[in-house]
A = this chain, B = another copy of it.
Amino acid sequence: MKIRVAVVGGTGYTGFELVTLLLHHPKVELTEITSQSYAGQPISMVFPALQETCSLVCAQMDLTRLVDRADCLFVALPHKTAMEVVAPLVRAGKRVVDLSADFRFRSPEIYEKWYQEHTAKDFLAEAVYGLPELHGDKIRTANLVGNPGCYPTGVILAAAPLLAGGVVDPDSLIADCKSGVSGAGRAPTLTTHFCEANEGFTAYKVGEHRHTPEIEQELSTIAKRQIKVVFTPHLVPMSRGILTTLYANLSRTVSEDEVRGLYQEAYERAVFVRVLQQGHLPSTLYVRGTNFCDIGWRIERRTGRIIVISAIDNLTRGAAGQAICNMNLMFGFDEAEGLRLRAWQP
């Protein structure tokens, strides 16, 4: 027995990732893909890779039609547009995973400070932040999941066990993150032009990236007090992947074993977190195409710091894969259904 699934906004990179994952998901029938730019065109014209694989035609977004054709909907629209679509779908009894930022925040004030006016505040209370390792139980019964941002996924998974274990100063966190170009979306811009990105490594939105409050919301809950995080995103000349280098001041002397214990306990039942062996460090190459988050670290006694490094695939674990994991939980499927993915290498 399969559920019927729609992808709303299916022609960006996240949309494509959702579509290809859903087409191979044994419990899913993909019934609808909507696209404003490509309505009326077969998805296999938009992405020729899908020729002879998917015969769906992109549809104009139509709420009535969506309600009619799907039990579960993935909304991959820009902020603001998303909330206008999500609210009526949830009201109509549908289960929704929203990949925008619109339902990630418990506090409307924070959302409105960093984004814009929120016109569907009523839903914030019931929406669940879709990081399965932190909120698995709530996700299982949720009708609306706010799927985490790509950067927050890597940062939160790296930091959570240390904060929960109380071994680092919560005010000392610095997350230096590096993302492949697909994180900037499929719309052509000068920044994503091959000749500008190639050999052009750079930081951007330093001190003002909107993923900051999202990281802070989740880590503050774990730290049990309001904390602030320094977060610096960078653009890497590669297509996929995020590497996070997280710095924290140790609040006391800890052993390698103690730290390892914290991570192992935190992710004991986590299907998609790999705590690396001592001496091993993550690489974006090792998680490409998969839903894994790899985590390694190094305690630096010289300076009293710990450096934690995590790697994810920004489009899989950082977006579409995590969204499908959330769907699996919401519908009572095995958490890893459709997500035991082949690693992409080289």
Q: Does A289 contact B (CB under 8 A)?
A: yes
CA distance A192 to B13 in the complex (A): 15
Q: Which of A100-108, A217-225, A232-240 has 4 or more CB atoms under 8 Å from chain B?
A: A232-240
| Interface 0/1 of A228-250, CB less than 8 Å to B | 11101010111111010101000
In the complex, chain A residues 244-292 whose Cβ is within 8 Å of any chain B Cβ: 245, 247, 274, 276, 280-290, 292
CB distance from A37 to the nearest CB of B (A): 11
> How many copies altogether?
4
Q: Is the CB of B203 within 8 A of A309?
A: yes
* Alpha-carbon separation in the docked complex, A234 to B298 (Å): 14
- Please tell me the size bucket of the interface on A: 35 or more
**With A and B bound together, what is the CA distance between A139 and B294 in angstroms?**
41
Checking B52, B176, B300, B346 against A199 with a beta-carbon cut-off of 8 angstroms, the contacting residue is: B346
A115 on the B face (CB < 8 A): no
Instruction: Check B274 against A202 for contact (C-beta < 8 Å).
Output: no
B284 touches A199 (CB 8 A): yes
Which residues of the partner chain B approach A239 to less than 8 Å between Cβ atoms? Answer: 194-195, 198-199, 346
Residue A303 interfacial (CB < 8 Å) = yes
CB pair B307–A232 under 8 Å, yes or no, is: yes
A119 at the interface (CB under 8 A from B): no
- A1 CB contacts on chain B under 8 angstroms: none
Binding site for B on A (CB under 8 A): 13, 16, 20-21, 23-24, 47-53, 174, 176, 178, 180-182, 186, 188-190, 192-204, 206-207, 228-230, 232, 234, 236-241, 243, 245, 247, 274, 276, 280-290, 292, 294, 298, 300, 302-303, 305, 307, 309, 311, 340-346
What are 13 A-B residue pairs whose CB atoms fall within 8 Å in the complex?
A47-B343, A49-B285, A51-B274, A52-B292, A188-B188, A193-B193, A200-B238, A206-B300, A206-B309, A207-B298, A207-B307, A234-B245, A341-B342
